Amino acid sequence: MDGNGRWARERGLPRREGHRAGAESVREVVEACKEIGIKFLTLYAFSSENWSRPPDEIKALMELLERFLRKKTPEMHKQGVRLHAIGRLEALPDTCRSELDLAIAKTSSNTDLDLVLALSYGGREEIVDAVRQIASKAASADLDPEGIGNDTISEHLYTSGIPDPDLLLRTSGECRLSNFLLWQISYAEIVITNKFWPDFRKADLHEAIAEYARRHRRFGAI
C-alpha cells in the first residue's frame, strides 16, 4: 500500500495525514473484496524495514493501527471478516499488540473474508524463521532432512494454512517486491498502478482484477 507519504506531501500535509487517508482505502478495498467474493486479502501494513523511519512517524503509525483496530473490529466482525496478522509481532508496542490480539480473537469464527495484516513483516525474515524451526526439528530428530520439500517450507511460514496469492497489486508505480511474501508469490500475477494508495478505490480494484482475468497463467507450462 504505497504512496501515503507522497500523497500527503503533494497536498502540503504531514505524512501521518497520508496514513490516515490510506486507512479509508483499506475500508473500501475490504468491502470490495467481500462484494466480489475474494476470500483472502493480505495488506502489507508495516514492514520490518519501516522500523528505521523517524520515531515520530512510527509512533503515529502504531497509534493509527490501534485506533483502526479499536474502531473497525466490530464492523469487521459484523461483515464476517476474520483477521490474521503475520510478521515478527513481538516487536509491536504492547498496547498495539493487545488490540491486535483482541481483534483476532473476536473475529476468529468468521468465514466470509480472511484479512491478513503484514506487520513488522519481512519476507526474508519469514524464511529465516521458517528455516530455524525446520533446523531445530531436524536437530532433535523430529524431522528427517531427506523429507524436506516445498510443503515443509510452506508449513513453517507465517502464512501456513493461507493460500499463496494469485494477484500482487502494487500502488504508486513501484516496480519492486520490497521483501513481501517472497516464497508465496512465485507464480502471482503482478499488477502495478500509478495511483497513490489513499486514492485507490473500489473501481481501481475492479480494474486490477479485470487485468488479472485477461492473463493466461501457465505456471511454467506452455
Q: How many domains does the chain have?
A: 1
CA-to-CA distance for 60 and 66, rounded, in angstroms?
10
Q: Is residue 45 in a domain?
A: yes
Residue 217 has a pLDDT of 87
- DSSP alpha helix (H) spans, the chain: 4-10, 15-36, 55-78, 94-106, 123-139, 150-155, 202-213
* pTM reported for the whole predicted model: 0.94
CA 222/CA 219 separation, integer angstroms: 8
Per-residue pLDDT at 221: 77
Cell numbers at 181, concatenated: 511474501
pLDDT for the residue numbered 219: 83
Q: In which domain, by residue range, is 52 found?
A: 4-213
- Domain membership of residue 222 (yes or no) is no
77 lies in a domain? yes
pLDDT in tens, the chain (222 residues): 999 999 999 999 999 999 999 999 999 999 999 999 999 999 999 999 999 999 999 999 999 999 999 999 999 999 999 999 999 999 999 999 999 999 999 999 999 999 999 999 999 999 999 999 999 999 999 999 999 999 999 999 999 999 999 999 999 999 999 999 999 999 999 999 999 999 999 999 999 999 999 998 888 877
In a domain, 221, yes or no: no
Q: Which residues are catalytic?
A: 2, 50
- Look-up: residue for cell 530428530? 141
Instruction: Measure the CA–CA gap between 169 and 187, rounded to whole angstroms.
Output: 13
